[in-house]
A and B are shown apart, each in its own frame.
Chain A
């Protein structure tokens, strides 16, 4: 075997090895290619957990989880689809609000005029408590005054200072003079 033939054979075998290595690397790369994990199909309980927080926009005041119409059945299936896509309960609620309006939500979102729903009741409650406290205090004040006045002679008001007593004294004196 000549030197040239030997070199040719070595080159061929080198290319063969290189091809094999590339093939194996390729197979390895394909075998470790990331695969998305399959989301388990959400159960009816999962769907109803989200549906319970929403209302049917067609038939009013019926929660979505118990609504019997075809439209509601479609929405429940949509919830199932969104859950299987990995959306959270809040994201699904948000999606429904964007599609059908805030009226489908059981609790209005705290934005715009909806803030009044959250702000006014506590304000009215505080105002009411304040009024009740004031009324109770004003009711207790005369009682306290009466208690003070009946404690002893030293605490009795001086007729010269109390205008009511002064008037009574004056009336009594007038009647005595008239001989009644």
Chain B
């Protein structure tokens, strides 16, 4: 009897928070945890692996033309990440242009040069210096490089006609033959 009275006295003395405040705090806490979880999941995602479908993206060239990979279904796409400040990129520039000249008439292969964290005047000078004629554009907000999770430049990715990643090259191509060996098996 006495203990029951004590309990009642304790209950009456205890100040409790309004339920809506408790609910709000818990909702905020859960929302925050969900955000952290999503962020962690995103950072834990690895690079696109060979055989995996490559998400569609678009590249706006220095001349203002827009190339959308979603509109290139059925074609082999070579994506080359480069920068004007990257010395190894200079090694492969001529080879890439030569390979482009080889595949261009067939119309089955598309080359896209993605200029990674570069300044426009120097990038344009690089394009002019090596006479690159395939589409080249800046990687605005580094969206494309983040999607591929590149580790540096130069890096080259080749997407097959079904839109799946078929080939990855870290570092510069050493010859046109090396490029052709990567592309030719993907052509019909």
The residues of A with any CB-CB pair to B shorter than 8 Å are 57-58, 69-71, 74-75, 77-78, 81, 97-103, 113, 116, 120, 123, 127, 163, 166-167
Asked whether A71 and B83 contact (CB < 8 A) given A163-B2, A163-B6, the answer is: yes
Chain B 109-168 interface residues, beta-carbon cutoff 8 Å to A:
117-119, 121-122, 138, 140-143
Asked whether A101 and B85 contact (CB < 8 A) given A74-B122, A120-B32, A166-B2, the answer is: no
Per-residue interface assignment for chain B, residues 23 to 49, with 1 indicating a CB less than 8 Å from any chain A CB and 0 otherwise:
001001000100100000000000000
Instruction: Enumerate chain B residues within 8 angstroms of A78, measured Cβ to Cβ.
Output: 119, 121
Are the CB atoms of A163 and B140 closer together than 8 Å?
A: no
Instruction: Enumerate chain B residues within 8 angstroms of A74, measured Cβ to Cβ.
Output: 84-85, 118-119, 122
Are the CB atoms of A99 and B138 closer together than 8 Å?
A: yes
Are the CB atoms of B117 and A100 closer together than 8 Å?
A: yes
**A116 in complex: contacting residue of B35, B119, B138, CB < 8 Å:** B35
**B119 in complex: contacting residue of A75, A97, A103, CB < 8 Å:** A75
Instruction: Enumerate chain A residues within 8 angstroms of B5, measured Cβ to Cβ.
Output: 163
Instruction: List 10 A-B pairs, Cβ < 8 Å.
Output: A57-B142, A74-B122, A78-B119, A81-B121, A101-B143, A116-B32, A123-B28, A127-B25, A163-B6, A167-B2
Asked whether A101 and B2 contact (CB < 8 A) given A57-B117, A74-B119, A74-B122, the answer is: no
Interface bin, chain B: 20 to 34
Are the CB atoms of A71 and B35 closer together than 8 Å?
A: no
Instruction: Enumerate chain A residues within 8 angstroms of B83, measured Cβ to Cβ.
Output: 71
Chain B 1-19 interface residues, beta-carbon cutoff 8 Å to A:
2, 5-6
Q: Which B residue's beta carbon lies closest to that of A69?
A: B85
CA distance A75 to B83 in the complex (A): 13
Are the CB atoms of A100 and B85 closer together than 8 Å?
A: no
Instruction: Enumerate chain B residues within 8 angstroms of A163, measured Cβ to Cβ.
Output: 2, 5-6
Instruction: Enumerate chain B residues within 8 angstroms of A77, measured Cβ to Cβ.
Output: 119
Q: How far is the CB of B31 from chain A (nearest CB, A)?
A: 10
Instruction: Enumerate chain B residues within 8 angstroms of A100, measured Cβ to Cβ.
Output: 117, 141-142
Closest 4 CB pairs of A and B: A71-B85, A163-B2, A101-B141, A70-B85
CA distance A97 to B117 in the complex (A): 11
Instruction: Enumerate chain A residues within 8 angstroms of B121, measured Cβ to Cβ.
Output: 78, 81
Instruction: Enumerate chain A residues within 8 angstroms of B140, measured Cβ to Cβ.
Output: 98-99
Q: How far is the CB of A101 from chain B (nearest CB, A)?
A: 4
Asked whether A71 and B118 contact (CB < 8 A) given A113-B35, A120-B32, the answer is: yes
